[in-house]
Amino acid sequence: MKILTEPIGSIPRPVYLQQAMTAFAGGQIKADELNSLFDQATHETIMELEATGSPVISDGEQSKPSFVTYPMQGFKNFAADGVVIPFADGHTRQLPKLTAGPFHYTTFANSYLGRAKKYATLPVKQAVISCSAMSLLYPQEGIDGYSRDQFLADLVNDAAYDIRSCLESGAYNVQIDFTEARLAIKLDPSKQLLSAFIDLNNQVLDRFTAEEQKKIGVHTCPGGDHDSTHSADIPYTELLPLLFKLHAGNFYLEYAAEKDKMTVLNAIKENLGAGQRVFLGVTDVINPKVETAEEVSELILEAAQIIPVQQLGTTDDCGFSPFGDDTSTAREIAFAKIRARVEGTKLAEKVLGR
């Protein structure tokens, strides 16, 4: 049995696309010109990802505004003063706040998948945002004429369709980005918030059959933006007992940057379900140093002593340009790290005799 290996998602955009997006925002170029450059960058990114040897690829999220905000492009009923996400280095990200309903997705992730499949010769996975992250758009003070219960019902419907449309459009699998999981514990150590997030995401996952759930995965990490994190101080041992209650087949966990790796591995072993697979991050996306294939292999072999190999896969700790941050990590470093992941996984397979 081979050790499966997959990316998380985003790749820093090429400079020409970064410049074009700035020009478009300033009214200097038109939408059709920008759209043509999105196609060009997606094509180039897919070619470079396929050249790394990765058996599964993504579109590099070249045309996504960010992994969080894509469903709300063009939606008008928002104010800027939504939930604030604080990062360890002192900078913040702020979500928009819904001001009127009803809320429905204006963009679904299958649109990005369709663009990618025009150029890919390998299987393409597609990332979607978690229902729980989108639930943070609803204001604490409520909205006249649009209750939180109705908002959540609309949200669950659209989040489920977001996944289903990708599966029906030929995605290899679908990855739910649930990066707010550890942050939820930081904000509420009682874990009531995390439990509510788990329950809400399971309302979406329960729309799918057991076979379909095998093609759905969940990614979580301590957040990543401008080489900083929002919840790395929350240990995985606090998260994993609840995380693995999600009704999904695959789990993509940040791991390379974890300091106490043995504790993480034992927590995974204790909580991972029989029908679930864990993909461990074996490249640290914040550290600019490119791992060697041998270093990656050592991480995998250490993990294989604790986790059954048939339930073990490899990935990157996170996307390389979350929130559309295209400058903190060099594009060439992202591809080099992915190549190291692929080659290191192959080395580990040889040692394990797989």
For 134-153, write each residue's pLDDT tens digit: 999 999 999 999 999 999 99
- Reported pTM: 0.95
* CA geometry: angle 6, 11, 13, nearest 5 deg: 160
State both tokens at 237: 């041992």
In which band, very low, low, confident or very high, does the pLDDT at 298 lie, cut at 50, 70 and 90? very high
Determine the 3-state secondary structure of 139 from DSSP: coil
At position 106, the amino acid (one-letter code) is: T
Q: What is the pLDDT of residue 98?
A: 95
What is the CB neighbour count within 10 angstroms for residue 351? 12
Dihedral class, residue 88 (left if φ above 0, else alpha if ψ from -120 to 50, else beta): alpha
Q: Among 51, 130, 288, 271, which residue's Cα sits nearest to residue 60?
A: 51
Residue 308: which residues within 8 A CB-CB, separation 6 or more? none
- Residues 8 and 175: beta-carbon distance below 8 Å: yes
Share of residues in the chain with pLDDT > 90 (%): 85
Residue 32 φ then ψ, to 5°: -65, -30
pLDDT at 352: 93
Q: Checking DSSP bridges between strand 97-98 and strand 92-94, what pairing results, if any?
A: unpaired
Tokens representing 223 are: 């957040």
Model pLDDT, residue 220: 95
DSSP for 286-349, written as a single string: SS-SPPPHHHHHHHHHHHHTTS-GGGEEEE-SS-SSGGG--SSS-HHHHHHHHHHHHHHHHHHH
Residue ranges per domain, the chain? 4-352
Contact in structure between 97 and 76 (CB atoms under 8 Å): no
pLDDT of residue 354: 61
Lowest mean pLDDT among 42-46, 121-125, 266-270, 327-331: 327-331
- Helix, coil or strand: residue 175: strand
Mean pLDDT of the chain: 95
Can you give the pLDDT at residue 136? Answer: 95
The angle at the Cα of 291, spanning 308 to 349, to the nearest 5 degrees, equals 35
The stretch 216-236 carries a mean pLDDT of 88
pLDDT at 351: 94
Q: Is the pLDDT of residue 283 over 80?
A: yes
| Helices of type H across 85-147 | 110-117, 131-135
* Count of C-beta atoms within a 10 Å radius of residue 80: 8
* 1, pLDDT greater than 60: no
- Residue 123: cis peptide before it, omega within 30 degrees of 0: no
Question: Is domain 4-352 classified as CATH 3.20.20.210?
Answer: yes
Return the residue matching tokens 């927590």: 267
Tokens of 177: 């980005």
Write out pLDDT tens, residues 315-341: 999 999 988 789 889 999 999 999 999
Per-residue confidence (pLDDT) for residue 258, from 0 to 100: 94
Q: What pLDDT, on the 0 to 100 scale, is given for residue 66?
A: 85
pLDDT score for 68: 86
What average pLDDT does this structure show over 55-62? 96
Percent of the chain whose pLDDT exceeds 70: 99
pLDDT of residue 92 exceeding 90: no
Among candidates 257, 269, 158, which has minimal Cα distance to 204?
Answer: 158
The SS3 of residue 255 is coil
pLDDT for res 132: 97
